[in-house]
Structure 1
Amino acid sequence: MGMDSTWTEVDMYFINKLIAFDSNFDYVLKNNKKAGLPEIDVSPTQGKLLHLLAKMKGAKTILEIGTLGGYSSIWLGNALPDDGCLVTLEYNEKHVKVANENIKKAGLDHKIKIIEGPALETLPTLESKGFTSFDFIFIDADKPSNPYYLNWALKLSKPGTVIIVDNVVRNGHVVDSEGVDQSVLGTRQLIDLLSEEPRIDATAIQTVGSKGYDGFVIGIVKE
């Protein structure tokens, strides 16, 4: 058995043992596939991790940069209290339509607000919409823009805000200092910023599983 097969098998073991079946997530994945969305959602174990981290934080306000079909949005939305709010940013009109369908089906349309448009254009509008800071921020959008997303995340944070950035290992290519892949370059710039930024304490975790070899950054904004 190859390592990829082992990773997937172990993922399925944990999913079957630790993650209760939820028809809403099944609907999301099927609806996304039917609509032709790329199959790049977080895995169920990763979604559950986001959910648990948001609950541990006691988050009432969440910002997500990159909605796709709303799979991770729903995991995070389920972690919110009744009066909580998640704002998620998505540039693709088709993705917004599908995500709205999925979020409504999950019964979370009263908690989750999708803002359509390029995130670097919509992020500057959040304060005027009444969103001045967030308790929890999840960045999972176009990787070349990661350094800019981090800067905006810090502007929209407060002491104790948790910031998570997905897909930072890039199948190990993050260590390739001579590479020209824009997603890798954006990720390396993100890590460089984190290494120099005094306002956040962060680490990175490598992961393997049904989504292959990757990882994420997790940080907490300092007092």
Structure 2
Amino acid sequence: MRAEMRVPDYPTADSASWAAVDEYFAGLLAPEDEHLQSALAANADNSLPAHDVSATQGKMLALYARMIGATRVLEIGTLGAYSTIWMARALPIGGKVVTIEYDRRHAATAQRNIDRAGLSELVELHVGKALDVLPTLAGPFDLIFIDADKPNNPHYLRWALQLSRPGTVIVGDNVVRGGAVKDPASDDANVQGVRAFLEIIASEPRLDATAIQTVGEKGWDGFALAIVRD
């Protein structure tokens, strides 16, 4: 049984059923050990928003890292480090997750979760605005996970390209927005940020990409998946 459930940004009448199926899949295929459960519990205790990736999504990120043989991962948006822990565990000895969190209180909780999981040597946590931190980083990264404030997604994508190499995988989370992404007239800044992000991907010759809709304990959402071309 999971310690905490995530909160859908766009809940529907089917959200409870979707969450129950997620719990079934996670129990079979992505069980959370004590450190992952403790991270979610600590996040809740410290009043962090319950926007962590689901267990199955965390496992998906870990599998992507393993599939491409990633040794360097960049995460834009740490929150409480739940996804960070999943990805760090997928790396070989000497690997590194570089993760960026704007909120100092969130970052403090994240660092405690990372330390408790025994991953301090594998994770480098930067605290500050991502657009201030990104210019200080040295690439390339093998996997880049963008999961921060959506209005800045276009800027994060441009930096992801600068910090990538041919073969780098870029994952952008929360791109469906309960279906609102299809509305060009939306007054939701998150929707407009995602739409601009997707339009840049579509027009960028260096990227080959798709998008996947998902349902689960995070409601109706999904992610964009891109690879930097040779």
Aligned residue in 2 for 1:182 = 189
Query: TM-score, length-normalised on structure 2?
Result: 0.93
Q: Distance in 1 between matches of 2:220 and 2:31?
A: 25
Which runs of 5 or more residues in structure 2 are unaligned? 1-12
- Which range moved further: 105-114 or 7-16? 7-16
Deviations 1:31-89 (A, max 9, x none): 00001100000000110100111110110000000000000000000000011011001
Shift of 1:6: 1.7
Aligned residue in 2 for 1:169 = 176
- Which range moved further: 59-68 or 15-24? 15-24
Query: Larger relative contact order (C-alpha < 8 A, sep ≥ 6)?
Result: 2
Match of 2:60 among 40, 49, 53: 49
Deviations 1:82-115 (A, max 9, x none): 1101100111110111000000000000010001
Equivalent residue letter for 1:91: Y
Q: Distance in 2 between matches of 1:21 and 1:150?
A: 30
Q: Distance in 2 between matches of 1:114 and 1:20?
A: 25
Shift of 1:21: 3.6
Tell me if structure 1 keeps the 8 A contact 2:22–2:217.
Answer: yes
Which consecutive aligned stretches of 4+ in structure 1 deviate over 6 angstroms post-superposition?
none
Q: Distance in 2 between matches of 1:136 and 1:180?
A: 31
Shift of 1:18: 1.4
User: Does 2:108 correspond to 1:91?
Assistant: no
Aligned residue in 2 for 1:119 = 130
Q: Distance in 2 between matches of 1:193 and 1:21?
A: 36
Q: Aligned pairs, how many?
A: 218
Match of 1:139 among 142, 146, 150: 146
Alignment partner of 2:209: what SS? strand
